[in-house]
Protein backbone atom coordinates (compact mmCIF):
# COMPACT_ATOMS: atom_id res chain seq x y z
CA UNK A 1 0.00 0.00 0.00
CA UNK A 2 1.33 3.43 -0.94
CA UNK A 3 2.09 5.96 1.75
CA UNK A 4 -0.79 8.45 1.58
CA UNK A 5 1.10 10.91 3.74
CA UNK A 6 4.21 11.17 1.59
CA UNK A 7 5.71 14.68 1.40
CA UNK A 8 5.08 14.86 -2.35
CA UNK A 9 1.40 13.94 -1.98
CA UNK A 10 0.95 16.33 0.94
CA UNK A 11 2.53 19.11 -1.11
CA UNK A 12 0.22 18.42 -4.06
CA UNK A 13 -2.87 18.52 -1.82
CA UNK A 14 -2.08 21.99 -0.50
CA UNK A 15 -4.03 24.89 -1.88
CA UNK A 16 -1.81 26.53 -4.46
CA UNK A 17 -1.50 29.76 -2.47
CA UNK A 18 -0.64 28.07 0.84
CA UNK A 19 2.74 29.26 2.09
CA UNK A 20 3.21 31.92 -0.59
CA UNK A 21 5.28 34.71 0.94
CA UNK A 22 4.60 38.44 0.95
CA UNK A 23 7.54 38.97 -1.38
CA UNK A 24 6.21 36.43 -3.88
CA UNK A 25 2.85 38.23 -3.91
CA UNK A 26 4.74 41.51 -4.39
CA UNK A 27 6.57 40.15 -7.44
CA UNK A 28 3.29 38.94 -8.92
CA UNK A 29 1.69 42.35 -8.32
CA UNK A 30 4.59 44.26 -9.90
CA UNK A 31 4.85 41.92 -12.88
CA UNK A 32 1.09 42.11 -13.41
CA UNK A 33 1.04 45.91 -13.16
CA UNK A 34 3.74 46.12 -15.82
CA UNK A 35 1.78 43.75 -18.04
CA UNK A 36 -1.47 45.70 -17.53
CA UNK A 37 0.10 48.86 -18.90
CA UNK A 38 1.96 46.82 -21.49
CA UNK A 39 -1.38 45.62 -22.87
CA UNK A 40 -2.90 49.10 -22.58
CA UNK A 41 -0.16 50.40 -24.88
CA UNK A 42 -0.86 47.70 -27.47
CA UNK A 43 -4.66 47.80 -27.24
CA UNK A 44 -5.11 51.56 -27.30
CA UNK A 45 -4.32 51.55 -31.01
CA UNK A 46 -6.94 48.87 -31.69
CA UNK A 47 -9.46 51.01 -29.80
CA UNK A 48 -8.59 54.41 -31.30
CA UNK A 49 -7.46 53.60 -34.84
CA UNK A 50 -10.96 54.44 -36.14
CA UNK A 51 -10.38 58.06 -35.10
CA UNK A 52 -6.59 58.25 -35.47
CA UNK A 53 -6.05 56.94 -38.99
CA UNK A 54 -8.72 59.00 -40.81
CA UNK A 55 -7.18 62.11 -39.24
CA UNK A 56 -3.59 61.09 -39.99
CA UNK A 57 -4.50 59.90 -43.51
CA UNK A 58 -6.65 62.91 -44.30
CA UNK A 59 -7.50 63.01 -47.99
CA UNK A 60 -7.16 59.24 -48.41
CA UNK A 61 -9.99 56.75 -48.84
CA UNK A 62 -11.65 54.79 -46.02
CA UNK A 63 -10.01 51.67 -47.48
CA UNK A 64 -6.55 53.19 -46.92
CA UNK A 65 -7.30 53.61 -43.21
CA UNK A 66 -8.41 49.97 -42.91
CA UNK A 67 -5.36 48.77 -44.83
CA UNK A 68 -2.93 50.73 -42.66
CA UNK A 69 -4.74 49.57 -39.56
CA UNK A 70 -3.66 45.98 -40.24
CA UNK A 71 -0.23 47.07 -41.43
CA UNK A 72 0.40 49.00 -38.23
CA UNK A 73 -0.52 45.90 -36.26
CA UNK A 74 2.19 44.13 -38.27
CA UNK A 75 4.68 46.94 -37.52
CA UNK A 76 3.84 46.56 -33.84
CA UNK A 77 4.50 42.84 -33.99
CA UNK A 78 7.88 43.46 -35.65
CA UNK A 79 8.88 45.96 -32.96
CA UNK A 80 7.74 43.58 -30.25
CA UNK A 81 9.86 40.83 -31.76
CA UNK A 82 12.99 42.96 -31.82
CA UNK A 83 12.49 44.33 -28.32
CA UNK A 84 11.49 41.01 -26.82
CA UNK A 85 14.46 39.11 -28.22
CA UNK A 86 16.90 41.79 -27.09
CA UNK A 87 15.37 42.14 -23.61
CA UNK A 88 15.22 38.38 -23.03
CA UNK A 89 18.90 37.94 -23.80
CA UNK A 90 19.90 40.99 -21.73
CA UNK A 91 17.80 39.82 -18.77
CA UNK A 92 19.61 36.46 -18.74
CA UNK A 93 22.96 38.24 -18.87
CA UNK A 94 22.47 41.24 -16.59
CA UNK A 95 19.46 40.41 -14.45
CA UNK A 96 15.68 40.70 -14.49
CA UNK A 97 15.26 44.00 -12.60
CA UNK A 98 17.29 46.47 -14.73
CA UNK A 99 15.81 45.20 -18.00
CA UNK A 100 12.28 45.34 -16.57
CA UNK A 101 12.89 49.01 -15.71
CA UNK A 102 14.26 49.73 -19.19
CA UNK A 103 11.35 48.15 -21.05
CA UNK A 104 8.68 49.95 -18.98
CA UNK A 105 10.43 53.28 -19.57
CA UNK A 106 10.58 52.52 -23.29
CA UNK A 107 6.90 51.90 -23.87
CA UNK A 108 5.81 54.74 -21.56
CA UNK A 109 7.94 57.36 -23.27
CA UNK A 110 7.04 56.56 -26.86
CA UNK A 111 3.35 56.15 -26.08
CA UNK A 112 3.33 59.67 -24.66
CA UNK A 113 5.11 61.02 -27.75
CA UNK A 114 2.28 59.67 -29.92
CA UNK A 115 0.26 62.63 -28.62
CA UNK A 116 2.29 64.79 -31.02
CA UNK A 117 2.02 62.56 -34.13
CA UNK A 118 0.79 64.35 -37.27
CA UNK A 119 2.03 62.13 -40.12
CA UNK A 120 1.76 58.45 -40.92
CA UNK A 121 5.49 57.89 -40.55
CA UNK A 122 5.31 59.36 -37.05
CA UNK A 123 2.74 56.73 -36.07
CA UNK A 124 4.69 53.92 -37.72
CA UNK A 125 7.93 54.86 -35.94
CA UNK A 126 6.34 55.46 -32.54
CA UNK A 127 4.30 52.25 -32.61
CA UNK A 128 7.49 50.37 -33.46
CA UNK A 129 9.35 51.82 -30.46
CA UNK A 130 6.40 51.31 -28.10
CA UNK A 131 6.37 47.68 -29.23
CA UNK A 132 10.07 47.27 -28.39
CA UNK A 133 9.25 48.02 -24.76
CA UNK A 134 6.04 46.00 -24.76
CA UNK A 135 7.71 42.89 -26.19
CA UNK A 136 10.62 43.11 -23.79
CA UNK A 137 8.57 43.59 -20.63
CA UNK A 138 6.57 40.38 -21.07
CA UNK A 139 9.60 38.10 -21.40
CA UNK A 140 11.31 39.47 -18.31
CA UNK A 141 8.19 39.56 -16.13
CA UNK A 142 7.07 36.05 -17.14
CA UNK A 143 10.49 34.62 -16.27
CA UNK A 144 10.55 36.50 -12.97
CA UNK A 145 7.19 35.08 -11.86
CA UNK A 146 8.11 31.54 -12.91
CA UNK A 147 11.38 31.66 -10.96
CA UNK A 148 9.89 33.09 -7.77
CA UNK A 149 6.89 30.74 -7.34
CA UNK A 150 7.11 27.02 -6.40
CA UNK A 151 6.05 24.33 -8.94
CA UNK A 152 2.60 23.69 -7.42
CA UNK A 153 1.75 27.43 -7.62
CA UNK A 154 3.52 28.35 -10.83
CA UNK A 155 0.65 27.74 -13.27
CA UNK A 156 -1.79 29.69 -11.10
CA UNK A 157 0.56 32.64 -10.53
CA UNK A 158 1.68 32.83 -14.16
CA UNK A 159 -1.93 32.51 -15.28
CA UNK A 160 -2.94 35.42 -13.03
CA UNK A 161 0.01 37.42 -14.34
CA UNK A 162 -1.08 37.01 -17.95
CA UNK A 163 -4.80 37.35 -17.15
CA UNK A 164 -4.12 40.81 -15.73
CA UNK A 165 -3.90 41.86 -19.38
CA UNK A 166 -7.69 42.12 -19.27
CA UNK A 167 -7.35 45.16 -17.01
CA UNK A 168 -5.14 46.75 -19.65
CA UNK A 169 -7.73 46.09 -22.35
CA UNK A 170 -10.51 47.52 -20.17
CA UNK A 171 -8.39 50.57 -19.43
CA UNK A 172 -7.84 51.07 -23.16
CA UNK A 173 -11.54 50.59 -23.90
CA UNK A 174 -12.60 53.04 -21.20
CA UNK A 175 -9.95 55.53 -22.30
CA UNK A 176 -11.14 55.22 -25.90
CA UNK A 177 -14.75 55.80 -24.86
CA UNK A 178 -13.77 58.71 -22.60
CA UNK A 179 -11.66 60.62 -25.14
CA UNK A 180 -13.90 59.96 -28.16
CA UNK A 181 -12.45 61.71 -31.19
CA UNK A 182 -9.70 63.26 -29.03
CA UNK A 183 -7.60 60.12 -29.45
CA UNK A 184 -4.31 61.83 -28.59
CA UNK A 185 -5.25 62.07 -24.90
CA UNK A 186 -5.43 58.27 -24.66
CA UNK A 187 -1.77 58.03 -25.67
CA UNK A 188 -0.73 60.78 -23.29
CA UNK A 189 -2.16 58.66 -20.46
CA UNK A 190 0.33 55.97 -21.53
CA UNK A 191 3.09 57.93 -19.75
CA UNK A 192 1.65 56.93 -16.35
CA UNK A 193 3.38 53.50 -16.12
CA UNK A 194 6.74 55.26 -15.98
CA UNK A 195 5.92 55.70 -12.28
CA UNK A 196 5.95 51.91 -11.94
CA UNK A 197 9.72 52.04 -12.35
CA UNK A 198 10.07 53.39 -8.80
CA UNK A 199 8.17 50.36 -7.45
CA UNK A 200 10.28 47.94 -9.47
CA UNK A 201 13.54 49.45 -8.25
CA UNK A 202 12.40 49.48 -4.64
CA UNK A 203 10.61 46.14 -4.43
CA UNK A 204 12.23 43.61 -6.76
CA UNK A 205 15.43 41.70 -6.21
CA UNK A 206 17.07 39.22 -8.52
CA UNK A 207 15.69 35.64 -8.21
CA UNK A 208 17.94 33.17 -6.42
CA UNK A 209 17.95 30.91 -9.47
CA UNK A 210 19.33 33.69 -11.67
CA UNK A 211 21.89 34.73 -9.05
CA UNK A 212 23.14 31.15 -8.86
CA UNK A 213 23.41 30.94 -12.66
CA UNK A 214 25.25 34.28 -12.78
CA UNK A 215 27.69 33.16 -10.06
CA UNK A 216 28.39 29.92 -11.94
CA UNK A 217 29.04 31.94 -15.08
CA UNK A 218 31.62 34.05 -13.26
CA UNK A 219 33.59 30.90 -12.44
CA UNK A 220 33.29 29.30 -15.87
CA UNK A 221 34.00 30.99 -19.20
CA UNK A 222 31.92 28.43 -21.09
CA UNK A 223 28.89 28.98 -18.81
CA UNK A 224 29.29 32.75 -19.11
CA UNK A 225 29.11 32.47 -22.89
CA UNK A 226 25.82 30.57 -22.55
CA UNK A 227 24.03 33.30 -20.57
CA UNK A 228 21.33 34.68 -22.87
CA UNK A 229 23.02 33.11 -25.92
CA UNK A 230 20.81 32.71 -28.97
CA UNK A 231 23.52 30.59 -30.52
CA UNK A 232 23.38 28.11 -27.65
CA UNK A 233 19.58 28.24 -27.59
CA UNK A 234 19.22 27.45 -31.28
CA UNK A 235 22.03 24.92 -31.69
CA UNK A 236 21.82 22.81 -28.52
CA UNK A 237 19.26 20.06 -27.98
CA UNK A 238 16.62 19.97 -26.62
CA UNK A 239 16.43 23.75 -26.29
CA UNK A 240 16.46 24.43 -30.04
CA UNK A 241 13.61 21.98 -30.64
CA UNK A 242 11.53 23.58 -27.87
CA UNK A 243 12.34 27.12 -28.97
CA UNK A 244 11.24 26.63 -32.58
CA UNK A 245 8.05 24.76 -31.73
CA UNK A 246 7.21 27.26 -28.98
CA UNK A 247 7.69 30.10 -31.46
CA UNK A 248 5.23 28.48 -33.88
CA UNK A 249 2.73 27.94 -31.06
CA UNK A 250 2.92 31.63 -30.11
CA UNK A 251 2.68 32.64 -33.77
CA UNK A 252 -0.70 30.92 -33.99
CA UNK A 253 -2.02 32.67 -30.89
CA UNK A 254 -0.61 36.12 -31.68
CA UNK A 255 -1.50 35.99 -35.36
CA UNK A 256 -5.06 34.95 -34.62
CA UNK A 257 -5.30 37.52 -31.82
CA UNK A 258 -4.75 40.45 -34.16
CA UNK A 259 -6.46 38.89 -37.17
CA UNK A 260 -9.33 37.05 -35.46
CA UNK A 261 -9.87 38.04 -31.81
CA UNK A 262 -9.58 41.80 -32.40
CA UNK A 263 -11.99 41.38 -35.32
CA UNK A 264 -14.76 41.06 -32.74
CA UNK A 265 -14.90 44.87 -32.76
CA UNK A 266 -15.12 44.97 -36.56
CA UNK A 267 -17.82 42.28 -36.64
CA UNK A 268 -19.88 44.30 -34.18
CA UNK A 269 -19.34 47.53 -36.11
CA UNK A 270 -20.34 45.92 -39.41
CA UNK A 271 -23.45 44.31 -37.92
CA UNK A 272 -24.59 47.58 -36.34
CA UNK A 273 -24.14 49.54 -39.55
CA UNK A 274 -26.20 46.95 -41.44
CA UNK A 275 -29.04 47.59 -38.99
CA UNK A 276 -29.02 51.29 -39.93
CA UNK A 277 -27.03 52.77 -37.06
CA UNK A 278 -24.89 55.81 -37.80
CA UNK A 279 -21.16 55.23 -38.24
CA UNK A 280 -20.32 57.17 -35.07
CA UNK A 281 -22.80 55.30 -32.86
CA UNK A 282 -21.86 51.96 -34.39
CA UNK A 283 -18.19 52.63 -33.61
CA UNK A 284 -18.94 53.44 -29.96
CA UNK A 285 -21.14 50.35 -29.47
CA UNK A 286 -18.51 48.17 -31.19
CA UNK A 287 -15.86 49.46 -28.77
CA UNK A 288 -18.06 48.41 -25.86
CA UNK A 289 -18.78 45.00 -27.42
CA UNK A 290 -15.10 44.24 -27.93
CA UNK A 291 -13.38 46.16 -25.16
CA UNK A 292 -15.78 45.25 -22.34
CA UNK A 293 -18.13 42.36 -23.21
CA UNK A 294 -15.78 40.19 -25.26
CA UNK A 295 -12.89 40.96 -22.92
CA UNK A 296 -14.87 39.69 -19.92
CA UNK A 297 -14.97 36.29 -21.62
CA UNK A 298 -11.32 36.59 -22.60
CA UNK A 299 -10.36 37.39 -19.03
CA UNK A 300 -12.22 34.36 -17.71
CA UNK A 301 -10.42 32.23 -20.30
CA UNK A 302 -7.04 33.59 -19.20
CA UNK A 303 -7.81 32.98 -15.54
CA UNK A 304 -9.11 29.48 -16.28
CA UNK A 305 -6.10 28.29 -18.25
CA UNK A 306 -3.84 28.05 -15.20
CA UNK A 307 -6.11 25.88 -13.01
CA UNK A 308 -7.14 23.72 -15.97
CA UNK A 309 -3.55 23.15 -17.06
CA UNK A 310 -2.53 22.41 -13.45
CA UNK A 311 -5.14 19.65 -13.31
CA UNK A 312 -5.04 18.19 -16.82
CA UNK A 313 -1.57 19.20 -18.01
CA UNK A 314 -0.26 21.89 -20.32
CA UNK A 315 -0.53 19.89 -23.54
CA UNK A 316 -4.15 18.78 -23.16
CA UNK A 317 -5.26 22.26 -22.18
CA UNK A 318 -3.59 23.89 -25.16
CA UNK A 319 -5.15 21.34 -27.53
CA UNK A 320 -8.62 21.83 -26.06
CA UNK A 321 -8.47 25.63 -26.26
CA UNK A 322 -7.24 25.58 -29.87
CA UNK A 323 -9.91 23.15 -31.04
CA UNK A 324 -12.72 25.01 -29.29
CA UNK A 325 -11.44 28.33 -30.67
CA UNK A 326 -11.55 26.85 -34.17
CA UNK A 327 -15.20 25.87 -33.61
CA UNK A 328 -16.38 29.14 -32.04
CA UNK A 329 -15.02 31.41 -34.80
CA UNK A 330 -17.52 30.53 -37.58
CA UNK A 331 -20.36 30.45 -35.03
CA UNK A 332 -19.50 34.01 -34.00
CA UNK A 333 -19.04 35.20 -37.58
CA UNK A 334 -22.24 33.79 -39.07
CA UNK A 335 -24.57 33.01 -36.15
CA UNK A 336 -25.66 36.35 -34.63
CA UNK A 337 -28.33 38.29 -36.53
CA UNK A 338 -28.67 41.13 -34.03
CA UNK A 339 -26.46 43.13 -31.67
CA UNK A 340 -27.82 41.41 -28.51
CA UNK A 341 -27.15 38.00 -30.05
CA UNK A 342 -23.59 39.05 -30.85
CA UNK A 343 -23.10 40.32 -27.29
CA UNK A 344 -24.20 36.91 -26.02
CA UNK A 345 -21.66 34.98 -28.11
CA UNK A 346 -18.66 37.35 -27.86
CA UNK A 347 -17.65 36.31 -24.30
CA UNK A 348 -17.42 32.67 -25.44
CA UNK A 349 -15.48 33.78 -28.52
CA UNK A 350 -13.09 35.73 -26.26
CA UNK A 351 -12.79 32.87 -23.75
CA UNK A 352 -11.33 30.40 -26.25
CA UNK A 353 -9.50 32.65 -28.73
CA UNK A 354 -7.76 34.64 -25.97
CA UNK A 355 -7.61 32.19 -23.04
CA UNK A 356 -4.75 30.16 -24.52
CA UNK A 357 -2.46 33.20 -24.24
CA UNK A 358 -2.12 32.67 -20.48
CA UNK A 359 -0.50 29.37 -21.38
CA UNK A 360 2.46 31.15 -22.93
CA UNK A 361 3.39 32.83 -19.63
CA UNK A 362 2.97 29.48 -17.86
CA UNK A 363 4.56 27.15 -20.38
CA UNK A 364 7.42 28.95 -22.11
CA UNK A 365 9.55 29.68 -18.99
CA UNK A 366 9.14 26.00 -18.02
CA UNK A 367 10.79 24.84 -21.23
CA UNK A 368 14.25 26.35 -20.65
CA UNK A 369 17.07 26.38 -18.05
CA UNK A 370 17.77 29.45 -15.92
CA UNK A 371 20.61 30.82 -18.05
CA UNK A 372 18.32 30.72 -21.11
CA UNK A 373 14.90 31.17 -19.52
CA UNK A 374 14.13 34.76 -20.50
CA UNK A 375 15.91 34.29 -23.82
CA UNK A 376 13.96 31.13 -24.64
CA UNK A 377 10.60 32.43 -23.42
CA UNK A 378 11.19 35.64 -25.36
CA UNK A 379 12.22 33.75 -28.48
CA UNK A 380 8.99 31.74 -28.33
CA UNK A 381 6.66 34.64 -27.59
CA UNK A 382 8.34 37.41 -29.54
CA UNK A 383 9.64 35.23 -32.33
CA UNK A 384 6.00 34.28 -32.59
CA UNK A 385 5.23 37.97 -33.11
CA UNK A 386 7.48 38.00 -36.18
CA UNK A 387 5.77 34.99 -37.69
CA UNK A 388 2.39 36.48 -36.74
CA UNK A 389 3.25 39.66 -38.64
CA UNK A 390 3.02 37.58 -41.81
CA UNK A 391 -0.47 36.52 -40.73
CA UNK A 392 -1.50 40.15 -40.45
CA UNK A 393 -0.24 41.02 -43.90
CA UNK A 394 -2.14 38.01 -45.18
CA UNK A 395 -5.17 39.13 -43.20
CA UNK A 396 -5.13 42.62 -44.72
CA UNK A 397 -4.77 41.12 -48.21
CA UNK A 398 -7.53 38.56 -47.63
CA UNK A 399 -9.98 41.13 -46.26
CA UNK A 400 -9.32 43.47 -49.20
CA UNK A 401 -10.13 40.85 -51.87
CA UNK A 402 -13.09 41.73 -54.06
CA UNK A 403 -16.18 39.86 -52.91
CA UNK A 404 -14.56 38.75 -49.62
CA UNK A 405 -16.73 39.41 -46.59
CA UNK A 406 -15.31 40.05 -43.12
CA UNK A 407 -17.03 37.00 -41.55
CA UNK A 408 -15.65 34.69 -44.23
CA UNK A 409 -12.13 36.13 -43.99
CA UNK A 410 -12.10 35.77 -40.19
CA UNK A 411 -13.41 32.19 -40.45
CA UNK A 412 -10.66 31.24 -42.93
CA UNK A 413 -8.02 32.73 -40.63
CA UNK A 414 -9.47 30.65 -37.79
CA UNK A 415 -8.11 27.49 -39.43
CA UNK A 416 -4.75 28.47 -37.92
CA UNK A 417 -6.05 27.17 -34.59
CA UNK A 418 -5.92 23.61 -35.97
CA UNK A 419 -2.21 24.04 -36.65
CA UNK A 420 -1.70 25.20 -33.06
CA UNK A 421 -3.43 22.10 -31.71
CA UNK A 422 -1.25 19.84 -33.87
CA UNK A 423 1.98 21.44 -32.56
CA UNK A 424 1.35 20.15 -29.04
CA UNK A 425 2.02 16.57 -30.18
CA UNK A 426 5.72 17.50 -30.44
CA UNK A 427 6.21 19.47 -27.20
CA UNK A 428 6.85 18.08 -23.69
CA UNK A 429 4.55 18.06 -20.66
CA UNK A 430 5.92 20.25 -17.85
CA UNK A 431 3.06 20.21 -15.33
CA UNK A 432 4.31 20.31 -11.68
CA UNK A 433 7.92 19.73 -12.72
CA UNK A 434 10.85 21.72 -11.38
CA UNK A 435 12.24 24.33 -13.75
CA UNK A 436 15.18 23.04 -15.83
CA UNK A 437 18.63 24.05 -14.59
Reported as a single tens digit per residue, the pLDDT across 392-434 is: 778 888 888 888 999 999 999 999 999 999 999 999 999 988 8
Alpha-carbon distance 12 to 351, whole Å?
28
pLDDT at residue number 223: 65
Q: What whole-number distance in Å separates Cα of residue 378 and Cα of residue 148?
A: 18
Concatenated DSSP letters of 95-136: -HHHHHHHHHHHHHHHHHHGGG--SHHHHHHHHHHHHHHHHH
pLDDT of residue 1: 43
Cα-based angle 16, 163, 167 (whole degrees, multiple of 5): 130
Torsion of CA 396, 399, 402, 407, to 10 degrees: 180
Alpha-carbon gap, residue 196 to 177, rounded angstroms? 25
Could you name the CATH architecture of 21-202+225-426? Up-down Bundle (1.20)
pLDDT at residue number 362: 95
Count of all residues that appear for the chain in the document: 437
The span from the CA of 214 to the CA of 244, in Å, is: 25
CA-to-CA distance for 212 and 218, rounded, in angstroms? 10
Whether a cis peptide bond, with omega within 30° of 0, leads into 78 is no
Pairwise CA distance, residues 19 & 33, whole Å: 23
Query: By C-alpha distance, which of 8, 435, 27 is closest to 199?
Result: 27
pLDDT of residue 348: 97
Distance CA 318, CA 306 (A): 11
**How much is the pTM?**
0.82
Q: What is the pLDDT of residue 62?
A: 65
pLDDT (0 to 100) of residue 6: 53
User: Which residue ranges make up each domain of the chain?
Assistant: 21-202+225-426
Q: Closest by alpha carbon to 255, among 164, 386, 375, 367?
A: 386
Question: What are the residues whose beta carbons fall under 8 Å from the beta carbon of 366, sequence distance 6 or more?
Answer: 146, 154, 314, 430, 433, 435, 436
Neighbours of 153 (CB within 10 A): 22
* Residues of the chain where predicted confidence (pLDDT) is lower than 50: 1-2, 4, 9
Query: How far is 24 from 242, CA to CA, in rounded Å?
Result: 28
CA distance 350 to 345: 9
d(CA 329, CA 413): 9
pLDDT in tens, 278-325: 888 998 899 889 888 998 999 999 999 999 999 999 999 999 999 999
Which candidate, 295, 320, 323, 286, places its Cα nearest to that of 305?
Answer: 320
Amino acid sequence: MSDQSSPELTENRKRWYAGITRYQWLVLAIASAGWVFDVYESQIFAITRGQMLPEILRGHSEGAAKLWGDRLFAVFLLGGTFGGLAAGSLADRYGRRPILVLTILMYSLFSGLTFFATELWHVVALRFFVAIGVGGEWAVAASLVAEVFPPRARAYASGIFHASSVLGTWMAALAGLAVGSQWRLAYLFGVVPALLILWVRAGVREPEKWQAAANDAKESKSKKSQLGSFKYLLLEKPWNHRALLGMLLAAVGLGTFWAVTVAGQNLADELLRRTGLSAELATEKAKFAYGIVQTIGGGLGLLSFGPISARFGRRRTFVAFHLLAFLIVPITCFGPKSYPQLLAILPIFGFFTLGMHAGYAIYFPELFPTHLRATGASFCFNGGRLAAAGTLWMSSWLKSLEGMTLPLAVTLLGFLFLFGAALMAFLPETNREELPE
